[in-house]
Amino acid sequence: MSSPATQLVKPASAEPKTQLRALLVEDSEADAELVLRALRKNDFDVSAVIVQDEAGFARALRTHCPEIVLADYNLPDWKGMEALNVLRRQDLDIPMILVSGALGDVTAVECIKQGATDYVLKDGLARLPEVVRRALRDKYERGLRHQAEKDLAKKADELARSNADLEQFAYVASHDLQEPLRMVAAYTQLLSERYKGKLDENADKFIGYASEGAIRMQVLIHDLLAFSRVGRAEASYSTVDCNEVLEEVRQTLASAIAECAAIVAHTDLPAIWADRTQMTQVFQNLIGNALKFRGKEAPEIFVHAEKAGQQWVFSVKDNGIGIAPEFAENIFVVFQRLHARTEYPGNGIGLAICKKIVQRYGGRIWVESQAGRGSTFKFTLPLQGPQAKEEAHQ
């Protein structure tokens, strides 16, 4: 019998071996020596401490910093499995292998369920070195995964802070620029009204350029504010009937619809758990784009929704000029335009706003289109809220 916390001296080795700090929970010095001999015969240079009770185990964790725990299942004053509780209390990820004289399969499986890494019978110590190597390898890989998860979480936090800072900057910059730009626009307009025809032809042209640039900048800033507000405003969730939202959008766009004799139709749309104002923005931007980018024929716009798993898939289909597949991603980037302003008005902000809103709900938005063959914009929204809970219970 060894005394608690007995230090076993390492034998000298002529060849380099794998260094290993082991903590043995064992009441038999002879059995402990057999365990260590099995490891040393298989290229382990073991530095070991033997303990027999919880106090000695806790002390050895502090002083020896073991890489592996080899514990007998039954001791006179303690049980090897109780070492797991000590490791958990100290939040230590140290593999623990049971090394016991007799351990039934049912008991062994239960021990592993409770957290033991593996078990080896004392009459089968030949397999102990491989079990130890596997346990150390698993711990190393677990450490790599844990570090990767920490790094990923850190990057996600940094990205979230960066995005929040950018949104704040965009909001403040666009908000604070409005007043001086309003003054520039007002005075260039005044110059145009007061001195038009009184100066030379070039002066009238330059004043016109300045007025047009100031007005365009005002529209850009207004759009930038609209984009930044999507991320800043708190969504007001409620049950939103998409049929009502679409009717509201049709009334808002009534003059544009009448101007080009457009047909806007839809199937029966679902009620969703969302912010009504944001859903109105999404449908208004998509239908507004279908009206703007129309072909020679009168626009035909069809809105549909279908359930797919735990989400709704909405589609807005038109017969307009379409989009070449290579531009299918670019159109959702803020201020990205595929056409000159002389062809189609706007600053390329509408689809970026749609994408930002849809992503806030955990959905995605994309387009299926060919140039000259119309477009189908699709987006997903989660099936959640009171309606989803009701259907889940049915």
**Residue 126, both tokens:** 């030949």
Contacts 24+ apart (CB under 8 A), 291-295: 291/253, 291/256, 291/257, 291/260, 291/262, 292/344, 292/345, 292/346, 293/318, 293/320, 293/321, 293/344, 293/375, 294/260, 294/262, 294/318, 294/319, 294/320, 294/321, 295/319, 295/320, 295/321, 295/372, 295/374
For residue 256, pLDDT beyond 80: yes
User: Which H or E run contains 242?
Assistant: helix 242-252
pTM, whole model, 2 decimals?
0.51
133: confidence class by pLDDT, cuts 50, 70, 90:
very high
Between the CA of residue 22 and those of 28, 32, 163, 388, what are the distances in Å? 16, 11, 48, 54
Cβ proximity of 256 and 284 under 8 Å: no
Tokens 């298989």 locate to 42
Q: Comparing 370 with 235, which gets the higher pLDDT?
A: 370
What's the confidence (pLDDT) of residue 130?
94
118: confidence class by pLDDT, cuts 50, 70, 90:
very high
What's the confidence (pLDDT) of residue 323?
86
DSSP-assigned letter for residue 330: G
What's the confidence (pLDDT) of residue 105?
77
For residue 13, pLDDT beyond 80: no
Cβ–Cβ contacts within 10 Å for residue 366, how many? Answer: 15
Residue range 119-125: mean pLDDT, rounded:
89
254: confidence class by pLDDT, cuts 50, 70, 90:
very high
Q: Where are the domains of the chain?
A: 10-144, 162-232, 237-393
Helix axes 242-252, 276-292, angle to 10 degrees: 50
- Dist CA 91 CA 172 (whole Å): 45
Q: What is the second-level CATH architecture of the domain 10-144? A: 3-Layer(aba) Sandwich (3.40)
**Residue 28, both tokens:** 């038999």
Q: What is the second-level CATH architecture of the domain 237-393? A: 2-Layer Sandwich (3.30)
Q: Express each pLDDT in 199-216 by its tens digit.
A: 787 888 888 888 877 777
Looking only at the bridges linking them, the beta strands covering 263-266 and 300-308 are parallel
Q: Express each pLDDT in 57-116 by its tens digit.
A: 999 999 999 999 999 988 888 888 899 999 999 999 999 999 988 777 788 888 888 999
Residue range 162-232 in CATH 1.10.940: no
